[in-house]
Amino acid sequence: MFRPLTASLKLAPLALAAAVTLAAAPARAAEPVTLMVGGINKIIYLPAKLTEQLGYFRQEGVDVKLLSEPAGVNAENEMLAGAVQGVVGFYDHCIDLQAKGKQAMSVVQFAKVPGEVELVSAKDAATLKSAADFKGKSLGVTGLGSSTDFLTQAMAVRAGLKQGDYSLLPVGAGNTFIAAMQQGRINAGMTTDPTVAQMLSTGQAKVLFDMRTEAGSRAAVGGLYPAASLYMPADWVAAHKDEVQKIARAFVRTMKYISTHSAEDIASKMPADYYGSDKNLYISAIKASMPMFTADGRMPATGPETVLKVLSEFKPQMKSAHIDLAKTYTTAFVDEALKTVK
């Protein structure tokens, strides 16, 4: 710190010159905030890269670095290790973490439903027509302990199955998921666009459950299941409210952009390597996934209760943990942003 110039007239000339230099120097830039995305190419997490592409982080005065991990559970582990300040991943991890004695909260809610699709290999489609048919089958998930793991178990429980009736195989997403189905290592699996669009366009798979819409989410898990979000450690949020507010405002602007622009407009803002040689397929994937997104970044009113109910169906520790849902999310930063973002 330096003394005000009004008090510096008694300083020696060199000291006075130094004080003037300090006064003219720009404020030191804030430290970067690093966010880990549970698969940055997935359309369920499109708001992360789109916000960067639209320049909203920079305009809000926050230096955000985006990293990517194929599975949400790996992104969560990076946050717990202190390697990143937040995760673009599924809200259900906040509830699961609280049951384990850790506090994380969603500060911006991107999606009101999972955006996931349970695909069945075309070779198994004739005999695998419901979750009850999971018995004896190998089911693909991005990672064990991931949200695709949670949702797959939830569907199985609702169909009357128990753990051990089926096997879960971590196969990641994108090319590794496609290879696992092509090679017959999984009979069905849960994944997102643009992988869904690619597999349907080639006829390699058929849709069993489509959780990209509210109706599809209710059919699969019994209600709205808020999923893609920005979640952060509760203590970091409390200690960095200014940074969190800037990030929240940037994301709220993006959610408004998504809700008022076409899939073609959105695709035009994304890097070319996100859609490769088939931009039209990417656009169709965005169109199919648009219903999942919130219009303003707010948590759906009944969403947290549904997520807890679903998790409790196959995670007994949820009931004994006495989950306080109010500590798993906050709308404060989004509400503040919405005062000025129209």
CATH number assigned to the domain comprising residue 312:
3.40.190.10
Number of structural domains, the chain?
2
Nearest one of 295, 300, 301, 303 to 338, comparing CA atoms: 295
* Helix axis angle, 195-202 to 279-289, nearest 10°: 110
Q: Is residue 26 included in any domain, yes or no? A: no
Report whether 307 contacts 95 (CB < 8 A).
yes
Same domain, 97 and 233: yes
Same domain, 133 and 235: no
Q: How far is CA 115 from CA 46, 179, 254, 259, in A?
A: 11, 21, 18, 16
Residue 71's pLDDT is what? 66
Report whether 253 contacts 241 (CB < 8 A).
no
Same domain, 233 and 322: yes
- List per-block mean pLDDT (blocks of 10 residues) for the chain, which spans 342 residues: 37 39 43 92 96 98 92 81 94 95 97 97 96 97 91 94 95 94 97 94 96 93 94 97 98 98 98 91 95 96 93 84 94 97 88
What residue spans of 131-278 are helical by DSSP H? 147-158, 175-182, 195-202, 214-221, 234-239, 241-260, 263-269
Strand partners, 230: 88, 108
> pTM for the full model?
0.87
Q: Is residue 7 included in any domain, yes or no? A: no
What residue spans of 13-146 are helical by DSSP H? 13-24, 46-54, 56-59, 72-80, 92-99
Q: How far is CA 197 from CA 35, 91, 316, in A?
A: 27, 24, 36
Strand partners, 167: 138
Q: Is residue 6 included in any domain, yes or no? A: no
Residue 133's pLDDT is what? 97
Structural domain range at position 186? 117-210
Residue 276's pLDDT is what? 84
Q: Is residue 302 included in any domain, yes or no? A: yes
Same domain, 230 and 331: yes
Report whether 47 contacts 66 (CB < 8 A).
no
d(CA 164, CA 21): 70
d(CA 252, CA 333): 10
Same domain, 50 and 97: yes
Q: Is residue 50 included in any domain, yes or no? A: yes
Same domain, 39 and 87: yes
Same domain, 171 and 267: no
